[in-house]
Chain A
Amino acid sequence: SSELTQDPAVSVALGQTVRITCQGDSLRSYYASWYQQKPGQAPVLVIYGKNNRPSGIPDRFSGSSSGNTASLTITGAQAEDEADYYCNSRDSSGNHPWVFGGGTKLTVL
């Protein structure tokens, strides 16, 4: 079945670098997009394509991809980066043309 797998939780010390990963067969064909979601709020796009940031997203957010794994890296994590992060991609193989990862809860210590 088509799916994207993320670690449920990751923590990082304030100002340090953290990488959040997303694995899935669809990532061999499509880049992942990444969304940040804070409690009670709608998701916000932070990375799309190979490594593109929408206007207003700080440059400490970056994306990369290798094989079946996509990564979101936050370089110099800030307290306001504490949130849930979801990856998403197209999936041409399953019954869900689009698929989300299960999400990663990022804690900034």
Chain B
Amino acid sequence: QVQLVQSGAEVKKPGASVKVSCKASGYTFTSYYMHWVRQAPGQGLEWMGIINPSGGSTSYAQKFQGRVTMTRDTSTSTVYMELSSLRSEDTAVYYCARESKFTYYDILTGYSTEYYFDYWGQGTLVTVSS
């Protein structure tokens, strides 16, 4: 069965960096893109970025450009999310989520592809506090 297992909780000081891991199992690691999503306490979900485990290409939300780096290790089926220059507002639960997609044909619009997150990691709490 598909599993995404994340690393444990972290406590960091402002200005430091944190690296969270997400180990995938139960499927072909390089066949599915992986996303990172975070959730501040009492707040909603916020998309951070995506990595292609096959080639390593990434795309980040503009808000995190320059502070976030997503990498992968195909030998261990693990993706990583590193966030630098931490501030108190970065205190949140960070999730990895696997992207799946399907393509369908509509007689009016032709072929379309829909995307969704079918499996999520358990979440990693990152606390930024002096």
Contact = CB atoms under 8 A, between A and B. Distances in A.
Interface residues on B, range: 20 to 34
A109 B31 CA distance: 43
B108 to A, nearest CB: 13
B127 to A, nearest CB: 16
A100 B47 contact: yes
Given A42-B95, A43-B95, A43-B120, A100 B44 contact: yes
* B interface secondary structure, majority: strand
B53 interface: no
Interface string B93-128: 001010000101000000000111110111100000
Interface residues of A, number: 25
A97 B115 CA distance: 11
B81 to A, nearest CB: 15
A88 B44 contact: no
A48 to B, nearest CB: 4
B102 A44 contact: no
Contact of A48 (B37, B44, B114, B121): B114
Interface of A: 30-31, 33, 35, 37, 42-45, 48-50, 54, 86, 88, 90, 95-103
Given A43-B97, A49-B102, A96-B63, 8 more contacts: A30-B114, A33-B115, A35-B117, A42-B121, A45-B118, A97-B61, A100-B46, A102-B44
